[in-house]
Amino acid sequence: MVSEAVAGADQVADSHWKSLRYFNGYRVSIAVLLFVSSLIHPSSFSLIAPERGTHHLLVTGFYLAATLASLVGVSVYRRRFNFQLNVHVLVDIGVLTLLMNFGGGVRSGMGILLLVSLAGSGLVGHGRLVLFYAATATLAVLYEQTYRAITTDFAAADFFQTGLFCAGFFGIAILARLIARRVIANEELARKRGIELRNQTLVSQRIIEQMQDGVLVIDRDGMVRQNNPRAARLLGLSDPAKRSLTSYSTELARSFRVWSERPSSEPVLVRAPASGMQLRARFVSTDSSERDVLVFLEDTGRLQEQARQLKLAALGRLTASIAHEIRNPLSAINHAGELLREENHDQTTDRLLRIVLDNTNRVERIVSDVLELGRRDRAHRELIDLRQTLRSLVDEYTAKERIATDVVRIEISGEAKICFDRAHFYQVLGNLLGNALRHSRKSSGSVRLRVSDSEQDGGIDLHVVDDGPGVDEATREHIFEPFFTTHSRGTGLGLYIARELCEANAAQLELKESEAGADFCISGRFDECQ
């Protein structure tokens, strides 16, 4: 237990040891001045009585050696702080009292140095023993003055001046103690605030690092000062050095200049050249002295993916409800209609039965399409050779629809391979061929399947082009929406399901601009299955 107490007592803050070193530096400088004064005795530069030069030299020499030893000890032996401080102060009191005696008592002015020493020790020691130091200095000065009065002459004025010095000792002690208490309180408050600030900084840093959005800190000149890892990945910030925003994204730099002229809270859409992703950028001004600007970057693809996940979750619940609540009664209705159709009825009844059966079949197709959409995430991708697959698929489709084989023309160039689930690919292409044949002239080459490598490395484009009237602007905006159709017997889910299946296979289905007819393009890759 004793060892633990000693160890705890030795645990003094580095700031205390640094203050003690500064205090000893002051003591060494005073000792040097006093020692130099004794060396030039009996010149006019002597600070104390020339007739006591030998004693003066011995005391100042001892004081210089003691202060130098104290300075070295504080730097090397960082233990027993209070003991070292006590020794330093007591040495100062003893030496300065002797020098006061050599110089003629309180008239020598050495009492001023005692005041400074007491004030410094009180601040360094945080006022713990400053009253003890003041009392010790008072006793020493009073003893010196009493000894002088007995041995030499008695002067009432000297005793009055000595009393003033002693009162000053206690005044300095009390003042040093009050200042020390204030310093201790401020240090404790600063320590707590520092800990809180450090914790808050660490939490804020961790939050920014783990954010799914990119964060940039740029100055008014458009120079990137700080960024989080997400922003580095989005913009390709590989160089940690401060660089211009223009070197990473010209679109973002242009948007920043526009915002600087007309600040707005509305986000802007930019495309990152490094990743090719479309980003939503939002600029926020800070209240810092340097007028920095925060830039928040959101990946619109991630937002769309989140929306798709929510949509799939809702779709799963919908398909389950459809399977249990709609399909079974629908089958019963269809079966009853077929039985009624076998009996002999008049023309009106037959017409009504055909309407019932046609609509039940239409609802059945809708249910089947929705159930198939719910299984879009079950993609088993493989590398499909389009040179063989397209020809066999087209032959099978034309035979099934009873149309001439030359109506569909195949044009292939490049790698002609795609990474896709085979069942999904057949379903997507069958839907696109059906739409193309429905709106085409059905003559030779009315429908073209054009395969070529895309501009991106490892990419491939498959175009399904027809020579029909094309898609007007009003329809183009809604063509991929569910249950939107221009065909009286369509379900409105074909193109929607086709696009969803393409996205499930890391591909895209888009309606391209064309001079005549419609041009649906499947953009996929062939290097992800290798």
Could you tell me the CATH number of the domain that includes residue 229? 3.30.450.20
pLDDT at 356 over 50: yes
pTM: 0.43
Q: Within 13 Å, how many C-alpha atoms sit on residue 39's CB side?
A: 8
> CA 412, CA 391: separation in Å to the nearest integer?
11
Kindly state whether residues 326 and 294 are assigned to the same domain. Answer: no
Tokens of 99: 């020098």
pLDDT at 455 over 80: no
Range of the domain at 90: 2-190
Kindly state whether residues 292 and 320 are assigned to the same domain. Answer: no
Kindly state whether residues 435 and 398 are assigned to the same domain. Answer: yes
> Higher-confidence residue: 367 or 391?
391
Name the band, by pLDDT with cuts 50, 70 and 90, for residue 275.
Answer: low
> CA 29, CA 343: separation in Å to the nearest integer?
126
> What is the phi/psi pair of residue 420, to 5°?
-160, 150
Average pLDDT over residues 389-401: 86
Kindly state whether residues 125 and 75 are assigned to the same domain. Answer: yes
Kindly state whether residues 484 and 518 are assigned to the same domain. Answer: yes
Give me the number of domains the chain comprises.
Answer: 4
Kindly state whether residues 141 and 153 are assigned to the same domain. Answer: yes
pLDDT in tens, 241-255: 557 777 777 888 888
pLDDT in tens, 282-338: 888 877 767 788 888 887 766 666 776 676 667 667 666 666 677 777 777 777 777
Kindly state whether residues 180 and 257 are assigned to the same domain. Answer: no
pLDDT at 4 over 60: no
Q: Which of 325, 344, 374 is the last residue of a domain?
A: 374
| Cα dist from 33 to 63, 70, 89, 97, 109, whole Å | 11, 17, 18, 17, 15
Kindly state whether residues 35 and 143 are assigned to the same domain. Answer: yes
Q: Which of 285, 302, 319 is the last residue of a domain?
A: 302
Whether 195 is in a domain gets the answer: no
Kindly state whether residues 177 and 232 are assigned to the same domain. Answer: no
Kindly state whether residues 16 and 134 are assigned to the same domain. Answer: yes
Kindly state whether residues 328 and 395 are assigned to the same domain. Answer: no
Whether 196 is in a domain gets the answer: no
At 434 the pLDDT is: 86
Q: Which of 374, 409, 436 is the last residue of a domain?
A: 374
pLDDT in tens, 206-225: 777 777 778 888 887 788 87
Whether 226 is in a domain gets the answer: yes
